[in-house]
Amino acid sequence: HAMYRRLTRRPSVGSHMLGLIAQELNLSELQLDALKQHRAKIHKDREILVTCSKLVEELRAKVEEHMKNQHKVLGGMRRILNPTQVAKYVMWVEKSKKQMGQAAGGH
């Protein structure tokens, strides 16, 4: 969440940072104006990065949910099937995943 706050700063902070950069790099007025024009692209990139960060967090949560659910499913299978059948089932699932991936153009 710190990353999100850092990426969604107020424009005044951005203007202040631009001023500091201009001073530090000893930018000409022409360069400073060009950077100001470039700010919209930088802002858009920052928005994309924020969206990506949110999606990564959602993906992590979904993967965790999937792993917990898969553990419950296998636990249930172990109560129903004998150990040899469970092993065959797990192998079948893995083989099916690979075949479905290949059919969908995956590796």
pTM: 0.54
Q: How confident is the model at residue 13 (pLDDT cuts 50, 70, 90)?
A: low
- pLDDT, tens only, 45-86: 999 999 999 999 999 999 999 999 999 988 998 999 999 999
- Rounded CA-CA distance 3/13 in Å is 15
- Exposed, middle or buried: residue 66 (CB in 10 Å: 0-12, 13-18, 19+)? exposed
Q: Which residues of 16-27 are buried (b: 16+ CB within 10 A; e: fewer)?
A: eebeeebeeeeb
